[in-house]
Amino acid sequence: MISKLSLDHILFLDIETVPQQESFDKLEPIDQHLYTDKTKYQRKEDVTPEAFYDRAGIWAEFGKIICISVGYFVNRTEGQQFRTRSFTGGEKELLEEFAHLLKEHFSKRNHLMCAHNGKEFDFPYIARRMIIMDVEIPEKLNLFGKKPWEVPHLDTLELWKFGDYKHYTSLKLLTRILEIPSPKDDIDGSQVRDVFYNEHDIQRIATYCEKDVVAVAQIVLKLRKEPLLTDEQIISK
């Protein structure tokens, strides 16, 4: 099935998220209580909510999106290109810009979005944050009432599971075993919060995020038994 898809109909994406506040003590008391209650089953008995707050970014209720990176294939007379770009800045602004991209360029019936673990994380996270930030959800992200086969999403994690839904394979591991150049050559997900709040280096985060987008596209090419992208084919806008 994946071999029959047109690559230029797919929008590849990845998001980076962080806790809404720099530290637990900056939350309102009610939010501290809610976070404590939310995480009581994830935390070990000796781990306090304060110590666990650096993981708050994984929940849309307690985190926020600081970067959405996308990539798409373009056919040119000189050959195939893969173009990437990133949306950063205020969360509402970047969500609105991303929604505009979907509506203007990836809203047709045959358009798909693709991410690694996107169905469990990226896609629902974006939709939830759009609701919270009062941004209209594009049709491609609004799954209410849709049947499973009507959902316009591809997930490289799901493709690799082959129906084994207990199985989880990280992007780093999957690129390693498929002999795809690893995108993890600078920071990793656990460092994004510190780079954002301590170093204030959003461009470094965007570069990292775009590398993940390229890695997802490379996995799709590998599953289609097509040549991988070269550095010359990858263009960052």
Q: Each residue of 191-205: pLDDT tens digit?
A: 899 999 999 999 999
Q: Is the pLDDT of residue 2 over 90?
A: no
Per-residue pLDDT of 16-33, as tens digits, reads: 999 999 999 999 999 999
pLDDT of residue 162: 85
pLDDT of residue 150: 64
pLDDT of residue 235: 92
pLDDT of residue 180: 92
pLDDT of residue 77: 67
Work out the average pLDDT over 63-83: 92
pLDDT of residue 185: 62
Q: Is the pLDDT of residue 166 over 90?
A: no
Per-residue pLDDT of 33-55, as tens digits, reads: 999 999 998 888 789 999 999 99
pLDDT of residue 52: 95
Q: Which CATH superfamily is domain 2-20+62-236 in?
A: Ribonuclease H-like superfamily/Ribonuclease H (3.30.420.10)
Work out the average pLDDT over 208-219: 96
Per-residue pLDDT of 112-165, as tens digits, reads: 999 999 999 999 999 999 999 999 999 999 877 666 666 779 999 999 988 787
pLDDT of residue 164: 82
Work out the average pLDDT over 99-110: 94
pLDDT of residue 1: 73
pLDDT of residue 195: 95
Work out the average pLDDT over 52-64: 96
Which has the closest alpha carbon to 67: 45, 84, 55? Answer: 84
Work out the average pLDDT over 159-172: 86
pLDDT of residue 137: 95
Domain residues of the chain, as ranges? 2-20+62-236
Q: Is the pLDDT of residue 183 over 60?
A: no
